[in-house]
Amino acid sequence: MRLLSTAAWLGMSLLATAAGAQTAAPPAGRLLASNCFQCHGTNGAGPGFDSIAGKSVDEIYKELREMRSENPGNDIMKAHARGYTDEQLRQISTYLSQQRSSSSSSD
């Protein structure tokens, strides 16, 4: 019974992979960038602290790198930025740059 359902499920998955090959793999950086969403809203588009969606990759990346290099003091974001490598910050910036800046997520 279980073998049957597993086989059926695997078959379904393979079909799904074949049918939607371009969507089976999630967009690069999406899961990583979702760490921003708790404070900046789903896809970075608010509501919350500064909206971070839809800016250019370079703008977001530069800002994150600057934050990471400064003494955090009382700024939680400067402490948070220290958790990521250059490569991770680049991936986050790229994903966020592709999101709509509107506060509506109805797209």
Partner 1 sequence: MKDDNLDNAQLIRRRLLQAAGLGSLAAMLPVLGCGGGSTADDGGVSFAQGRSSPTTSTTTTLLQTGLSGRVVVVGGGMAGAAVAKYLRLWGGSGVSVTLVERSPSYTSNIMSNLVLTGQRTLGSLQYKYDTLASRYGVKRLQGEVVAIDPVGRKVTLASGGTLAYDRLVLAPGVEFIYEQGVGIPGLESAAAQARVLHAWQAGPQTTALRNQITAMPSGGVFVLTIPAKPYRCPPGPYERACLVADWLKKNRPGSKVIILDANPGITAEVHSFTDAFMNVHAGVTEYHAKVTINGIDTSTMTVDSSVGRIKANVINAIPPHRAGRVVTAAGLTDPAGRWASVNQLSYESKVAAGIHVIGDSAGTAQPKAGHIGNQLGKVCADAIVRAFGGLPPDAAPVTNSACYSPITMETASWLTAVFAYDPGTQAMVAVADSFREAAARDGGNFSNMSKWFNALMSETFS
Residues interacting with partner 1, by CB under 8 A? 1-2, 5, 9-10, 12-14, 16-17, 19-20, 23-26, 30-32, 34-35, 37-42, 46-49, 72-74, 76, 79-84, 88, 104-107
- Residue 36 C-beta: closest distance to partner 1, Å: 9
The residues, ordered by sequence, that sit 6+ positions from 28 with a Cβ below 8 Å of its Cβ are 91, 94, 95
Nearer to partner 1, 17 or 56 (CB): 17
Cβ at position 35, least distance to partner 1 in Å? 5
Instruction: Find, among 86, 87, 69, the residue nearest to 78 by Cα.
Output: 69
Q: Look at residue 12 and give its three-state secondary structure.
A: helix
CA–CA gap between residue 47 and residue 52 (Å, rounded): 11
Nearer to partner 1, 14 or 86 (CB): 14
